[in-house]
Chain A
């Protein structure tokens, strides 16, 4: 993970600030920084989005490809997450340096989206057991400035919202095989219902209290973070603890409920913004 050096006195200043509910950039503990979304940034992807939150810069591309459904779930499509850490974000990411972080984020995302209440995967199925859509979701970390998980999940959700899947016509031939015809019209497409896509909310434990949307400096001051994935309805699809510290059961419950509340309203705000665009 990208670490910054801080002196002991600076850490003490940040910790006391969190206790007083005045963080070093003037926010209160449960306040989010403003961020900027751009959809449709990559022209040759089915859908794409870029999210910029303070210094964190994330680019996500979604590519829809035809494939064969998994044997155990013949009536469902597939999602494949891949995260790439650019060495521009941090020199440590060069070569295989960013692999651990990348796998961590990818597995967290697939866990969050693995719940059946999130995306309706059956809509991605074309012909039972024969053809389905596979969505390759590629995340590129261009710059790392704290609160990576949240920014990535916001970018993924925006990119899925932007994704256009071409409509297909199916014909069955004499041998019972399904044949697929792709229409020539580029405007003949359907969109994905992202209403219930989860968002990851990181809750960072600093001193005795916890903060939302930590900056890099605040992440250094905390021993442990809790990442919770929340849908619009407040359904929690997965949780994970990041960092070496330990948490008491009471503080976990408190942090999860804070993250849930933030997640519900953040989901709502993001969808409103994306839909208001058109």
Chain B
């Protein structure tokens, strides 16, 4: 039996690549400017009594002419129309589901915005309303697209394409939404035998390889045991993505696949060790740089 115990004193700093730009970093409530000539942007507020601009979030200050903004270090997902997201149903309500998609306010998925069995043009009856929990119940995961962004920031989702819908067996990985690179396609069938859905909201879904033609919108679910080979590939992909996220590398199909290949020298359980993580990330970074 082997245990991996570390002392905090021996911890190596998880340094991200050094950047040559010096950044003005602030904490919530820190003074940014006393000058009243500036305009306050996102992440700042104006102290009326003292006439100062203060930071409302932790992050780095950005100035564009007279406008001051603070870009936060850590943020929730801010939706944009057309984004692919992964979400979890938290509540079944009147003609709608509430979805947790790592946004500030809960997102909604309307009953009229999902594909129901029997074709797209089917009329939604009262029967369908009663059957809502049969289709999606609390805790279920879905992949969806952002349909509308409301002024208060909450999102309305839709799954009106057969590639979206309820997700079956697989692993959910949560990373920061700013690490997911916006691409043309967020559904990737990787050669290592896994399908990865990189949700723009920082939720990443890893499941066994699925063919594009066979998309059925989640009406059919595979509940039989997944083969050990497929399972190991999925777990390896999960650990590779976590490595990249820990070192703040952008996530897209190539980086995920390169990290997966770089990890092949390690056993699955070894990938959780900090040294292995650093090594995998370095190898991935080098390979991406040489190919650019």
Q: Which residues of A contact B (CB under 8 A)?
A: 5-10, 12-13, 16-17, 19-20, 22-28, 30-38, 50, 261-262, 265-266, 269-270, 273, 277
B7 and A277 form a contact (CB under 8 A): yes
- Between-chain CB contacts (< 8 Å), 7 pairs: A17-B231, A22-B231, A24-B171, A26-B238, A33-B4, A35-B6, A38-B9
A17 CA / B227 CA spacing, docked (Å): 10
A193 CA / B100 CA spacing, docked (Å): 49
B269 and A27 form a contact (CB under 8 A): yes
* 8 Å CB contact of B138 from A5, A20, A24, A31: A5
A13 and B169 form a contact (CB under 8 A): yes
A265 and B88 form a contact (CB under 8 A): no
B7 and A37 form a contact (CB under 8 A): yes
Within the complex, the shortest CB–CB distance from B164 to chain A, in Å, comes to 16
| Interface stretch of the complex, out of B54-62, B180-188, B218-226, B248-256 | B218-226
Most buried by B among A12, A27, A262, A265: A12
10 new A-B pairs (CB below 8 Å) besides A22-B268, A26-B238, A38-B7? A7-B141, A10-B169, A20-B231, A25-B238, A26-B267, A34-B4, A35-B4, A38-B9, A265-B1, A273-B5
**Which B residues lie within 8 Å of A33 (CB)?**
4, 272
Chain B interface size, under 10 / 10 to 19 / 20 to 34 / 35 or more: 35 or more
Q: Which residue of A lies closest to B222 (CB)?
A: A9
**Which B residues lie within 8 Å of A26 (CB)?**
235-236, 238-239, 267-269, 271-272
Q: Which residue of B lies closest to A272 (CB)?
A: B5
B231 and A36 form a contact (CB under 8 A): no
A36 and B7 form a contact (CB under 8 A): yes
**Which A residues lie within 8 Å of B269 (CB)?**
26-28, 31
A34 and B226 form a contact (CB under 8 A): no
**Which B residues lie within 8 Å of A34 (CB)?**
3-6, 272-274
B139 and A7 form a contact (CB under 8 A): yes
Residue B35, interface by CB 8 Å: no
A25 and B235 form a contact (CB under 8 A): yes
**Which B residues lie within 8 Å of A273 (CB)?**
5-7
Residue B128, interface by CB 8 Å: no
B141 and A25 form a contact (CB under 8 A): no
* 8 Å CB contact of A5 from B11, B88, B169: B88
A22 and B235 form a contact (CB under 8 A): yes
Q: Which residue of B lies closest to A154 (CB)?
A: B5
Query: Would you give the 0/1 interface string for B207-244, flagging 1 where the beta carbon is closer than 8 Å to chain A?
Result: 00000000000000101011010011001101100000
**Which A residues lie within 8 Å of B146 (CB)?**
none
Within the complex, the shortest CB–CB distance from A81 to chain B, in Å, comes to 23
**Which A residues lie within 8 Å of B11 (CB)?**
36
Q: Which residue of A lies closest to B270 (CB)?
A: A26
A7 and B140 form a contact (CB under 8 A): yes
**Which A residues lie within 8 Å of B223 (CB)?**
9, 12
* 8 Å CB contact of A262 from B1, B5, B171: B1
Q: Which residue of A lies closest to B141 (CB)?
A: A7
Within the complex, the shortest CB–CB distance from B242 to chain A, in Å, comes to 9
B228 and A22 form a contact (CB under 8 A): yes
A30 and B7 form a contact (CB under 8 A): no
A20 CA / B272 CA spacing, docked (Å): 19
